[in-house]
Amino acid sequence: MRVLGIHHGHGAAAALIEDGRVVADVAEERFVRVKHYSGAPYQSIAYCMSLVPQNDIDMVAFSSHRRPKAWALDVLAGAAPEYRPADWQRRLPLYFPSFTLRPDVQAIFVPHHRAHAAAAYYTSGLDPAARTLVVTMDGSGDDDVANAIWRGEGGKLELCYAGGQGTSIGWFYSNVTEALGWQHGEGEGKTMGLAAYGDAEDARGAFDGLHPRFDHGAAVEEHDFGPISCATVSGANHWHLRDSTTIQQLLHKHAREDLAAEAQRVLEHQVMAFVLPWLDKLDTQTLLCSGGVFLNVKLNQRIWSSGRVKDHQIFPNPGDAGLAVGAALDAYHRTQATAEIGALQDVYWGPQYSDDRIEAMLKTRRLRFRRRDDIAADAASALADDKIVAWFQGRMESGPRALGNRSILASAGRAENRDIVNERVKQRETFRPFGPSLLAEHRDEYLLNARNEEFMITSFDINARKREAVPAVTHVDGTVRPQMVRAEVNPLYHRMIQNYGELTGEYLILNTSLNVRGEPIACHPRDALRCFFDSGVDVLCLGSYLLSKEAL
């Protein structure tokens, strides 16, 4: 059974599910090169459909409780005829993709937060008989829900609690982000990174009356966020709420980093008061999370460090770009009630490019390059020589993190490498931290109280003995946000880090996404070339081909 999942809006994306297994998932931003693209995912749908023989789709799942938008009727001819107006006619230019589906294809509509919950639950690998707490939190979905509690049991999701926009702790954190000068729905990671440099006590209570409050698993005080303005610029949404103006005035009284620290404290305190009581209410120690709030790796660490949770998983694409996967999985499990719950092994679900195709492109551009028999050894040697390496291999990752297929890499052994990569390559604020990729078998050498974390979605305290050995990835608060690399999941990347470890004694490297500030992660080899030539990267490993600026 094949299900096509579609999300239209902020983080537009499409996904393909076959018999409950994710086959493809890609955000439209990677194709159109506009971060958080908010239009229709034409090219994402086309990519998914390229993997399907003769457009053989059984269901189309939309991440919304509403009928599909007009563009969907244009692109997916034959689907859901009951939703087509009598006077329907093709409105798109002929050169846009179009797919004729079987007349019996079902259209399924999955509310926003249910899609978030399904993404987390149906990729958890849990025994369906086990009782599981699933929590979804974001700014607000099109179902007017900001926070929801679900019970996963018997392979089904049951809604236990839903809070509207007045309970949105996500909106609050985004308002602080906007007040600090960063984009709502994009810059929250900057607020989190800056928070580690501040003292929440110096701004304690600054946000009183500007956020909802939770106690015993429910909102006990909602907040009126007022009207929500949205401007769409170059295909991306830019939101504005009135509280951001009020918070901006607080900068006259408090330091930026102290306000960020207080915002982080408020977020953690309120989410803990919402989430943890439900573990007792549902009598479980298993917690699954999704929704944009759970992109906050410090919050995720706080929940894990509470000691209340034994099995803690965060869907690695928890923002709105993960809704296409969730909608498709929910639709599949509605019709296959006894199907097993699949375990997430990786998120390498995007396009890949053969060596032949890469070589032809390099020759067309008349670039100097070398084909290498062991590109992993070459990359490891360059990293050991303190070179900055762009690494483009295999299928592109789904989600906001580069996980060793579309990465920029550097040695973590020199503290100055953090600033060098921020300034020369990423062209972003110097306070922003980088995460490491480390071999999973060396996890406990580097991390304290850690669980398996292969998707850079939770931070952990670093072992004091290793803090000085890998300063470029150790945040000022003594934490790191790791990707643990397993040989059976990504053998080439694992071998490269293994080679680096044999040269240096450290089985951990700095890993950040293959892009510069403001751009999506590289998808096509041309995106990697643009980043290589427009930044301070020294070496590009593009498939089996090596390009070095020293050789140019």
Q: Where are the alpha helices (DSSP H) in 218-255?
A: 243-249
**Would you state the pLDDT for residue 134?**
98
Provide the token pair at 24: 């493809």
Question: pLDDT averaged over the chain?
Answer: 94
pTM, whole model, 2 decimals?
Answer: 0.96
Do both 173 and 258 map to the same domain?
yes
3-state class percentages of the chain: helix first, strand second, coil last, to nearest 5:
35, 20, 40
CA distance 437 to 456: 9
Same domain, 255 and 173: yes
> Do 400 and 279 share a structural domain?
no
- Res 43: pLDDT: 94
Residue 85 is predicted with a pLDDT of: 47
DSSP per-residue letters across 487-523: TTT-HHHHHHHHHHHHHHS--EEEEEESS-TTSPPP-
Instruction: State the Cα angle at 373 between 407 and 386, rounded to 5°.
Output: 45
pLDDT of 255 above 60: yes
Q: How much is the average pLDDT of 247-259?
A: 98
499: which residues sit within 8 A by CB, 6+ positions away?
A: 376, 377, 380, 381
Within-domain flag for 136: no
One-letter amino acid for residue 283 of the chain: D
- Verify that 442 and 517 share a domain, yes or no: yes
The catalytic residue among 10, 223, 475, 494 is: 10
**What is the band of 430 on the pLDDT scale with cuts at 50, 70, 90?**
confident
The mean pLDDT value for 124-140 works out to 96
Scan for tokens 């297994």, then name that residue. 21
Residues 328 and 276 grouped into a single domain: no
Which of these ranges, 312-321, 363-372, 422-431, 492-501, has the smallest mean pLDDT?
Answer: 422-431
- Number of structural domains, the chain? 3
| Catalytic site includes residue 116 | no
State the residue range of the domain holding 78. Answer: 2-112+323-335
Same domain, 206 and 183: yes
- CATH number at 409 reads 3.90.870.20
pLDDT (tens digit, 9 = 90+) per residue, 210-242?
999 999 999 999 999 999 999 999 999 999 999
Model confidence at 103, pLDDT cuts 50, 70, 90, reads confident
Residue with tokens 């049991």: 153
Query: What pLDDT score does 102 carry?
Result: 84
Please check whether residues 235 and 296 belong to one and the same domain.
yes
**Domain identity same for 177 and 209:** yes
Query: Mean pLDDT over residues 196-205, rounded?
Result: 98
Q: Is residue 296 part of a domain?
A: yes
Based on the fold, state whether residues 292 and 430 are members of the same structural domain. Answer: no
What does the pLDDT look like over 57-102, one tens digit per residue? Answer: 999 999 988 766 666 766 776 555 554 544 445 667 878 877 888 8
Query: Which two structure tokens, joined as six digits, stand for 214?
Result: 């939770």
Same domain, 83 and 185: no
Confidence check: pLDDT of 550 > 90: no
**Rounded to an integer, what distance in angstroms lies between the CA atom of residue 211 and that of residue 206?**
11
DSSP 136-169: EE-S--TTS-SEEEEEEETTEEEEEEEE-GGG-H
Judge whether residue 507 has pLDDT over 60. Answer: yes
- 25 and 57 together in one domain: yes
Q: Flag whether 386 is in a domain.
A: yes
Specify the pLDDT at position 410: 98
CATH number at residue 248: 3.30.420.40
Please write the tens of the pLDDT for every residue from 345-399: 999 999 999 999 999 999 999 999 999 999 999 999 999 999 999 999 999 999 9
Q: Which residues are CB-contacts of 53 (< 8 A; sequence separation ≥ 6)?
A: none
Top-confidence residue, 492 or 100: 492
